Structure 1
Amino acid sequence: MSTPRGVGRVVAFGRPPASHANESNAHRLAREAAEAAEVRAHETRPEVVALRVERVRAQVDRLCWAGIVLGLELTMANVQHFAAGGTATWSLPWLAAWLLDPMVSLVLLAILRAEQVTARYQVRTGPWVRRAKWFTLASTYVMNTWRSYAEGALSGIVLHSVPPLVVFVAAEAVTDLRDKLTEAVTRAFTEAGRSAPPPVHERPPRVSARRGGAGRRTTFAEYLAAARAAWEPRVTVTPAWVREVTGCSRGLSSRLAAVLARELAGGGS
Structure 2
Amino acid sequence: MVKGGRQLPPTSAEAEAVEQVRKQVDRLCWTGILLGLAFTMTNVQSFAANGAAAWSLPWLAAWLLDPMVSLVLLAILRAEQVTAQYGIRTRGWVRGAKWFTLAATYVMNTWEAYAAGSADMVVLHSVPPLVVFVAAEAVTDLRDKLSEAVRTAFTNAGATGPDMDSEPGRDRSLEAKRRTSFDEYLSRAREAWKPDVTVTPAWIREVTGCSRGLSSRLATSLSAEVSGDEQ
TM range (shorter): 0.5 to 0.7
Deviation per CA, 1:176-227: give whole Å up to 9, x if none: 1112112212322443454467998xxxxxxxxxxxxxxxxxxxxxxxxxxx
| Conservation of the 8 A alpha-carbon contact between 2:9 and 2:157 | no
The alpha-carbon distance between structure 1 residues 199 and 94, as it changes in their structure 2 partners (threshold 3 A), is closer
What secondary structure, in the 3-state scheme, does the structure 2 residue paired with 1:183 have? helix
Aligned: 1:107 with 2:72: yes
Larger Rg: 1 or 2? Answer: 1
Tell me which residue corresponds to 1:117: 82
**What's the TM-score once normalised by structure 1's chain length?**
0.54
Aligned length: 160
Alignment counterpart, residue 83 of structure 1, candidates 24, 41, 48: 48
Q: Find the aligned partners of 2:10 and 2:160 in 1 and give their Cα distance.
A: 14
Unmatched segments (≥5 aa) in structure 1: 1-37, 201-269
Tell me which residue corresponds to 1:187: 152
Aligned: 1:44 with 2:15: no
The alpha-carbon distance between structure 1 residues 58 and 147, as it changes in their structure 2 partners (threshold 3 A), is same
The alpha-carbon distance between structure 1 residues 148 and 159, as it changes in their structure 2 partners (threshold 3 A), is same
The alpha-carbon distance between structure 1 residues 163 and 124, as it changes in their structure 2 partners (threshold 3 A), is same
Deviates more, 1:143-152 or 1:120-129: 120-129
| Conservation of the 8 A alpha-carbon contact between 2:11 and 2:156 | no
Alignment counterpart, residue 33 of structure 2, candidates 50, 68, 92: 68
What secondary structure, in the 3-state scheme, does the structure 2 residue paired with 1:44 have? helix
Tell me which residue corresponds to 1:137: 102
The alpha-carbon distance between structure 1 residues 199 and 99, as it changes in their structure 2 partners (threshold 3 A), is closer
| Conservation of the 8 A alpha-carbon contact between 2:85 and 2:144 | yes
Counterpart residue identity of residue 11, structure 2: T
What secondary structure, in the 3-state scheme, does the structure 1 residue paired with 2:55 have? coil
1:105 is displaced (CA, Å) by 0.3
Deviation per CA, 1:205-261: give whole Å up to 9, x if none: xxxxxxxxxxxxxxxxxxxxxxxxxxxxxxxxxxxxxxxxxxxxxxxxxxxxxxxxx
Aligned: 1:93 with 2:58: yes
Q: Find the aligned partners of 2:22 and 2:159 in 1 and give their Cα distance.
A: 25
Unmatched segments (≥5 aa) in structure 2: 1-5, 166-231
The alpha-carbon distance between structure 1 residues 72 and 198, as it changes in their structure 2 partners (threshold 3 A), is closer
| Conservation of the 8 A alpha-carbon contact between 1:121 and 1:182 | no
Deviation per CA, 1:44-69: give whole Å up to 9, x if none: 23xx4443322211111111111111
What secondary structure, in the 3-state scheme, does the structure 1 residue paired with 2:90 have? coil
**What's the TM-score once normalised by structure 2's chain length?**
0.62
Counterpart residue identity of residue 44, structure 1: T
| Conservation of the 8 A alpha-carbon contact between 1:122 and 1:182 | no
Q: Find the aligned partners of 2:151 and 2:56 in 1 and give their Cα distance.
A: 56
